[in-house]
Chains A and B, each alone.
With several copies, the nearest count.
Chain A
Amino acid sequence: MGASLGADWARAWITASAEVLAENRVALITLDREIGDGDHGENMDRGFQAALGKLDELPDSATPGDVFKVVATTLISTVGGAAGPLYGTAFLKASLAVGAAERLDAPALVLALTAARDGVVLRGKAESGDKTMIDAWTPAVDAATAAAAAGASPYEVLQAAADAAERGAEATEPLVARKGRASYLGERAIGHRDPGAQSSALLLRAAEQVARAGAEA
């Protein structure tokens, strides 16, 4: 069943994300303290714990798009800060992109990832190299697109996306920020990883891991 991913995967992804964000709460706070205001880990943890609670309220018939939609509204109403509206928009656009599909194949995943990235750009107006979460998302979208074009499975698409996002997050370290709080620091932001790019990489890695688990099952 590695050919497509269903609502079970979407639910498992959010559950795994909530776990990994809880584990990385302090790490993300520390990154944000260095070039921001020290709350990103707190915000993301709060938001995904809330999203976790909402999952149970979904009917068994819920599609992946339904899962993305409830996550979107929950993040918008619980995360706050810059990340809340941005991640919220990302999940909202992803849910619109996949529509009512019961299962997502590789091309569908690429559509969802692309829509999510475009949503963040729409709201935040960031470009690649601005030292934001976009620097994790755009490489992820490009890698996923290439993988799908090469006939990769959904799991392999997500793996490509996660690998690229991690490299992208790492690549924010030498950058001067042009968006978000880090932009107030000018040169002093150099040498620090962008917390939002880091949390984005964590989310995509979680997506890949639960997909692999599913694929191996």
Chain B
Amino acid sequence: MKKLINDPKNVVTEAVGGFAIAHSDIVRAELDPVYVVRSDAPRAGKVGIVSGGGSGHEPLHAGFVGYGMLDAAVPGPVFTSPTPDPIVAATKAVDGGAGVLHIVKNYTGDVLNFETAADLAAADGIEVASVIVDDDVAVKDSLYTAGRRGVAGTVLVEKIAGAAAERGDDLAAVAAIATKVNSRVRTMGVALTACVVPHAGEPSFTLADDEIEIGIGIHGEPGRERIKLEPADSIVDRLLGAVLEDMPFAAGEEALLLVNGMGGTPQVELYIVYRRAAEVLAERGVTVTRSLVGNFTTSLEMQGVSISVLKLDDELTSLWDAPVHTAALRWGR
């Protein structure tokens, strides 16, 4: 394992520390317990939005703390959900009296810890609503699984819910928008390589030189199916095919296309993937009116990509376009 780290035990605190200095104009970090919060929090009368989960997915979530998006992010250890304490602390730090929304990716650990935190915060008189994100079509949603995972679609939920909160929507409305985005976004990913969790020191799985993992998660867990390497276009056809099968589009409907790198993928490859995805959507009569290409929900240094499609309407489009100022997403100011 070769990494630019010091003691593996300090990876998260050192990274969060550096992040807070680099972006001191928009955030500050608390280190005990660890969370990142907007420097102007709490904002009186504004619904606070808190997300979090295991580290290793950067810029998710701390990179999305700032005007028009999250009020706080709670990074757990690498690939392990945070405990309730920092979630409660972050929730209190952003409560401006209008209540707090928890945006939680659907993993047992994240759900259970955010649940406990919500109970504790509620016990302290803070109104908390929770929205679970589960956009990963690689997992069959059935009684026989823990349900679909929350992956790259989370970024879209956070941006759009953040815009709603920023314009003054109340807690119920912000939660409703977040739920709406989650219900209209689907994602599927592929990995070319595994990643190494610092404290584990070994890859979470191994792929032969000609193998790729279809339906990869974002915690270094293996995917759904292992196949031989294919040209980028056929891989895109697989991923996007699964997405569109799960959420069909009528011709003329509008979409936001997110091509998300898993952390170690060169940008040229992301745009080669984007090119084919846009081509396929066009063939199906889907109008891509918004696009996002880059590393937004990653698995450390993993090489791979996920494709997310969000079915837009005028409300979602205008909330997407609303100004945002975070470390990883910024426009309009």
Q: Is the interface of B mostly helix, strand, loop or mixed?
A: loop
Provide the residues of chain A in CB contact with B144, threshold 8 Å. 176, 178, 183
A6 at the interface (CB under 8 A from B): no
Provide the residues of chain B in CB contact with A176, threshold 8 Å. 144
- A184, B146: Cβ atoms under 8 Å? yes
The docked-state distance in angstroms from the alpha carbon of A177 to that of B318 is: 42
Contact of A184 among B54, B76, B85, B149 (CB under 8 A): B149
B19 at the interface (CB under 8 A from A): no
A39 at the interface (CB under 8 A from B): yes
Contact of B197 among A38, A77, A186 (CB under 8 A): A38
Could you tell me the distance in whole angstroms from the C-beta of A199 to the nearest C-beta in chain B? 14
Provide the residues of chain B in CB contact with A186, threshold 8 Å. 140, 224
A107 at the interface (CB under 8 A from B): no
B217 at the interface (CB under 8 A from A): yes
- A36, B221: Cβ atoms under 8 Å? yes
The docked-state distance in angstroms from the alpha carbon of A86 to that of B109 is: 9
- A80, B116: Cβ atoms under 8 Å? no
Interface members, chain B 91-145 (any A CB < 8 Å):
107-109, 112-113, 115-116, 138-140, 143-145
Interface members, chain A 161-184 (any B CB < 8 Å):
176, 178-181, 183-184
Q: B209-230, CB under 8 A of A: which get 1 and which 0? A: 0000000010111101000000
- B83, A80: Cβ atoms under 8 Å? yes
Contact of B222 among A84, A180, A185 (CB under 8 A): A185
- A77, B83: Cβ atoms under 8 Å? yes
B263 at the interface (CB under 8 A from A): no
Q: A68-112, CB under 8 A of B: which get 1 and which 0? A: 000000001111111111100000000000000000000000000
A54 at the interface (CB under 8 A from B): no
- A124, B199: Cβ atoms under 8 Å? no
The docked-state distance in angstroms from the alpha carbon of A141 to that of B108 is: 24
The docked-state distance in angstroms from the alpha carbon of A80 to that of B84 is: 8
Provide the residues of chain A in CB contact with B66, threshold 8 Å. none
Contact-residue size bin, chain B (C-beta under 8 Å from the other chain): 35 or more
Provide the residues of chain B in CB contact with A76, threshold 8 Å. 83-84, 116
**Of B138, B146, B202, which is in contact with the most chain A CB atoms at under 10 Å from its CB?**
B146
Q: A34-60, CB under 8 A of B: which get 1 and which 0? A: 001111001100100000000000000
Provide the residues of chain A in CB contact with B140, threshold 8 Å. 186
Q: Is the interface of A mostly helix, strand, loop or mixed?
A: helix
- B108, A179: Cβ atoms under 8 Å? yes
**Of B107, B149, B222, which is in contact with the most chain A CB atoms at under 10 Å from its CB?**
B222
The docked-state distance in angstroms from the alpha carbon of A45 to that of B108 is: 20
Could you tell me the distance in whole angstroms from the C-beta of A63 to the nearest C-beta in chain B? 25
- A124, B77: Cβ atoms under 8 Å? no
B79 at the interface (CB under 8 A from A): yes
Could you tell me the distance in whole angstroms from the C-beta of A42 to the nearest C-beta in chain B? 5
Provide the residues of chain A in CB contact with B78, threshold 8 Å. 39
- B220, A37: Cβ atoms under 8 Å? yes
Could you tell me the distance in whole angstroms from the C-beta of B199 to the nearest C-beta in chain A? 5
- A180, B204: Cβ atoms under 8 Å? no
- A78, B83: Cβ atoms under 8 Å? yes
Provide the residues of chain A in CB contact with B220, threshold 8 Å. 33, 37-38
- A84, B109: Cβ atoms under 8 Å? yes
The docked-state distance in angstroms from the alpha carbon of A46 to that of B77 is: 11
B200 at the interface (CB under 8 A from A): yes
Nearest-CB residue, chain A, relative to B146: A183
Contact of B146 among A39, A85, A181 (CB under 8 A): A181
Could you tell me the distance in whole angstroms from the C-beta of A70 to the nearest C-beta in chain B? 15
Could you tell me the distance in whole angstroms from the C-beta of B202 to the nearest C-beta in chain A? 7
The docked-state distance in angstroms from the alpha carbon of A42 to that of B84 is: 18
The docked-state distance in angstroms from the alpha carbon of A29 to that of B77 is: 14
The docked-state distance in angstroms from the alpha carbon of A85 to that of B109 is: 8
14 CB contacts below 8 A, A to B, read A37-B204, A37-B219, A39-B79, A43-B77, A76-B84, A80-B109, A82-B108, A85-B112, A85-B115, A123-B112, A181-B108, A184-B138, A184-B139, A185-B222
In the complex, given contacts A39-B199, A79-B83, A183-B139, what are 16 additional A-B residue pairs having Cβ atoms less than 8 angstroms apart?
A37-B221, A38-B197, A39-B80, A39-B197, A80-B80, A81-B81, A82-B108, A84-B112, A85-B84, A176-B144, A180-B108, A181-B217, A183-B146, A184-B139, A184-B224, A185-B221
Counting from the closest, the 10 A-B pairs by CB-CB distance are A85-B112, A81-B109, A37-B219, A82-B108, A183-B145, A82-B109, A81-B80, A80-B80, A38-B200, A80-B83
